[in-house]
Amino acid sequence: MKSTHESAFVALRPAALDHLGAEAHAARRETDLAAAFATPRAIPAKRRIAPRLLIAGAAAASVATAAAVVVVTGSGGEDHHVRRPTAAPRRLDARTVLLASAVSAAKAPATSGRYWYTDERTSSYVDQLLGRPQRTKTGRIRPPAVTKLPYGGFVSTGQESWIARDGSDRSRTITGIGSQTTFPTKADEAKWKAAGSPELLTPQKRSVNDYGIPLRFTIGGRQVTMAALRKLPTSAPRLEADLNRRFRADHAGADGFTLYVWETAADLLAGPITPGTKAALYRVLAGLPGIKNAGAAKDRLGRAGTALALPDSDGESRLIVDQRSGALLAHESWAMGARYPRLSEAYRSMGWAGRLGDRP
């Protein structure tokens, strides 16, 4: 299996042992999270207050970022407002973020349609160029030289997909939409122009592709139909047991069950699974080790969310989620110590469409 951040997409113990305690704990937390998220989001412009999460069992799950105002009465009777800095906000752990996302995902209406539609934007960060392979005098191919650039840029392109629910209907993808090169700073762009504005990657041309055969999705290393996705379990214990079975069938033990579920989630959260399955998948992730909260983040489209990360030897893979809607915003690959993701797939829109070419 590929390393986590290059993927587009242990010995096992009985799942029930984990869930007997975990499910009860999750139920208490989710009740409070659901109540917190019921707070109206529209707040008057003159006085905006940061939303707070109320976590059961914690004395203070989050601390207000504004300084506390203390009224002190002076000898003359006048009041003096003294600002005292408060402690920094406590970052929620990954488990809490995932359980909050599960609560939100479960609230979504169970809809359906003729086509599953996605609109995504893929961005690659390029700060080095590969030369052409060279043939030696003995006929061997010498690997291409790698040239480190004094600048870096993002090469981005879009894709829209209409995947037919019924295998007898055509499916369609449109690739190479709005290909462009952008730069993280003006200095990077200036250095690129000074170098003659070279192509960082071969630009992808716009192409419309129709398919007369059923298109499949993947879970692990195996293809599944859309009908099979729609029938995935909607409870965390049953979904975990199903993924355990697939994990064993794929002989993926060397990479670990957490990585297997993580890579599967990166695909399924952008696919036509039911709200119940999406909520169950978030709960399964919440019970797995190694996943961390990388903090508040913005995807390549500028949308704010929370970055959940799974580290590996080369860096880490991140899922940026909007825990208030349960939506997956982006899937990113980060190299160790990098300032920018080297690969990002941001989802502009996804949902059901009634006709080929329609959008939700």
> Which tens digit of pLDDT belongs to each residue from 280-316?
999 999 999 999 999 999 999 999 999 999 998 899 9
What does the pLDDT read at residue 294?
96
Q: Stretch 259-278: mean pLDDT, rounded?
A: 96
74: pLDDT strictly greater than 80: no
State what percent of residues in the chain have pLDDT above 70.
Answer: 75
Distance CA 324, CA 332 (A): 20
Band (pLDDT 50/70/90 cuts) for residue 88 is: low
> Is 141 within 8 Å of 134 (Cβ atoms)?
yes
| DSSP 8-state code for residue 56 | T
Q: Stretch 325-336: mean pLDDT, rounded?
A: 96
What does the pLDDT read at residue 92?
85
- Other Cβ atoms less than 10 A from the Cβ of 345: the count is 21
Alpha helices in the chain (DSSP H): 15-37, 94-107, 186-194, 226-230, 236-249, 257-268, 275-286
Band (pLDDT 50/70/90 cuts) for residue 85 is: low
- Phi, psi at 34, each rounded to 5°: -60, -40
Distance CA 332, CA 211 (A): 28
Distance CA 224, CA 302 (A): 33
Band (pLDDT 50/70/90 cuts) for residue 173 is: very high
Mapped onto helix, strand or coil, the DSSP state of residue 170 is coil
Q: What is the pTM of this model?
A: 0.74
Lowest-confidence range among 145-149, 174-178, 179-183, 298-302? 145-149
* CB burial string 99-125: b at 16+ within 10 A, e below: bbbbbbbbeeeeeeeebbbbbbbbbbb
164: pLDDT strictly greater than 80: yes
Band (pLDDT 50/70/90 cuts) for residue 182 is: very high
What does the pLDDT read at residue 207?
96
What does the pLDDT read at residue 313?
87
What does the pLDDT read at residue 253?
74
The one-letter amino acid code at 170 reads R
40: pLDDT strictly greater than 50: no
> Is 286 within 8 Å of 102 (Cβ atoms)?
yes
* Residue-averaged pLDDT of the chain: 80
What does the pLDDT read at residue 84?
53
